[in-house]
Amino acid sequence: MPAAIALQNKSKAKQVYPTFFTPMAVASWKLLVPLLEKEGIVRKTEDAYYIVDLKRLLAMSEKGVRWRDLKDNTAFPTGKSILINSTDVRKSNSAAMYLALASYVVNDNNVVDDNEQANRVLPFVTSLFLRQGLQESSSAGPFEDYTTMGVGKAPLVMIYESQFIEYQSKRAQPNPDMVLLYPQPTIYTKHIVVPLTENGRRLGELLATDPALQELAARFGYRTSSPEHFAAFLTSRNLQAPATLVDVIDPPSFEILERMIQEIEKKFR
């Protein structure tokens, strides 16, 4: 959304069209849920799992806590650090949304809206990306590691909800070992059409309003302004997801988000 606003201002587009959207979530494994529940980080509510203490989970990542450090951990006693894997924040929107979410939590649950606040949170959020090592530029990369290499490679992965739902919907049976954790708060990634021509305007209007296209978006795991399509698709594939997410934040402005990304980029050099 910040990039769409910046593009609209630059292109002088009179109107933009929100088409479909999806929340950020953390792909994980049923094996790990009891460990995270015992730590007070995850809680199940109405058939969905929520990260109810995101700040603590991020603090564990920043401090380098390892899975084997968790009390009474016999399910996954590895030396792997507890951290959320993401894409490269310098190149990827999903990582930028992770940055927006982490900066909000570290900023006492407030959107970072000036340089002073950005400077204050940068050391913490920078470590969340530097500790990961190699990161890919596309969200398809870490999600593929999650689906093919399992819990040993990818215990916690920041993804789009739509990726998880689309993957599970294409299987003969959903993988019962996989679980989606919804951060509280979370953040939506909105797909916005910024039309530059009259044909672009017509396309944006159709994507935003046409029932057939909205239903098609739901088949790929996206939510739309017509929630009945998403609900019907989940039912048809024997999948579950929260009908609504009430704890949702806005990202920082384009300028503030870009500044934080640029400062993190300097630490990679």
What percent of the chain lies above the pLDDT cut of 90?
71
Number of domains in the chain: 1
Runs of H (alpha helix) within 15-86: 33-38, 54-63
Is pLDDT above 70 for 47?
yes
Instruction: Classify residue 261 by burial, with Cβ atoms within 10 Å: 0-12, 13-18, 19+.
Output: middle
Query: What range does the domain containing 160 cover?
Result: 2-268
182 strand-pairing partners: 50
State pLDDT tens for residues 163-192.
999 999 999 999 999 999 999 999 999 888
DSSP E strands in the chain: the ranges are 17-29, 42-45, 48-51, 157-160, 178-183, 186-193, 248-249
Task: Write down the residue that tokens 């995270």 correspond to.
Answer: 36
Please state the separation of Cα 9 from the chain's center in Å.
Answer: 26
Please report, for the domain that includes residue 124, its CATH number: 3.40.190.10
State pLDDT tens for residues 118-131.
999 999 999 999 98
Is pLDDT above 90 for 73?
yes
